[in-house]
Amino acid sequence: MKKKILVTGGTGYIGSHTSVELIEEGFDVIIIDNLYNSEADVADKIHLITGVKPLLEVLDLCTLEKLDRFIQNHKDISAIIHFAAYKAVGESVNKPLDYYRNNLLSLVNILAVMKRYDIPDLVFSSSCTVYGQPEKLPVTEDAPLQPATSPYGNTKQIGEAIIRDTTISDKNINAISLRYFNPIGAHPSSLIGELPRGVPENLVPYITQTGYGLRDELKVFGDNYDTPDGTCIRDYLHVVDLAKAHVIAVKRLIEGRNKSNYEVFNLGTGKGVSVLEAIKSFERVSGIKLKYKIVGRRPGDIEKIWADPSFANNELNWKTLSSLDEAMKTAWDWEKIIRNNKL
């Protein structure tokens, strides 16, 4: 019998790609999403890719009673992958209370139903933002957590602490936090990808929208950082590579191969890429000269960060397969398709 996995935020960017990978690995996927930053028809797109349409329940995880009722009807859930969260660094600086309420209350409610209904395994969508501005690069999992530079990053730090404390107090709950760096790109089918509402907060959708002509120019936030070209450096990994890591993590828990009941892994390429280098990558794969303007620094942004992914490489037998240009090309293909089809 297929193992049933609940994917919260499963119509979102990373959640939808992970749902595809789970289905293709033979899991039964059910999705909870409040559609705050995604569309219900993503479930249909998952169906087109995999031949299987996952059950989608539109529900706010911050309402414990509704979540509880849902779980009562699905008591055979083997594990939960928890993506559902607000995720924009810049927005979190302006709306901290929204971020604390949504990101933390939803997690507390998930853990509460796990305890109540004996769901043993959780994979948590964490972030490299928990490291703040690291003292040493590349970043390993045992790097000290610096004060978060944004409320979003703080919700991930606090979220990890909540999970760790829960696993200490209840040995029946096992969890893995996946600290990922900067996912980009889209599924090779171009049926699912990153679809931000309004003005994108993330770099690559802003690049592709500008390339397509939706934006007049790209704003580059700061060129006076202590980096080779003065712009911020990030570790960009293909979203499909990232999705596959979630499948590996959930299998590790279900099969009891975890070394402790709370584990943490960095997911990145191990290579730092500046904003200007990302722009050049887009120009290479698209053949378009991108218009951009240097503006002031953005509150909450850190200067430079990239992963040391060797622990995940060795312990999970996972590594990124796609290059920056390959990932960027899928992002550009996705942008052209959604604008031509106007989703």
CB burial string 184-204: b at 16+ within 10 A, e below: bbbbeebbbbbbbeeebbbbb
Structure tokens at 93: 């600086």
Cis omega before residue 120 (within 30°)? no
* Helix segments in the chain, DSSP class H: 13-24, 42-50, 64-72, 89-94, 96-116, 151-169, 203-212, 239-254, 275-286, 310-315, 324-341
Q: Please state whether beta strands 233-234 and 262-267 pair in parallel, antiparallel, or not at all (unpaired).
A: unpaired
13, 86, 152, 180: which one is catalytic? Answer: 152
Q: Round to whole Å and give the CA distance between 222 and 293.
A: 10
152 in catalytic set: yes
User: Tokens standing for 28?
Assistant: 């039964």
**Chain position carrying tokens 């029946």:** 172
CB contact at 8 A, 53 and 16: no
Q: Point out the residues that are catalytic.
A: 152
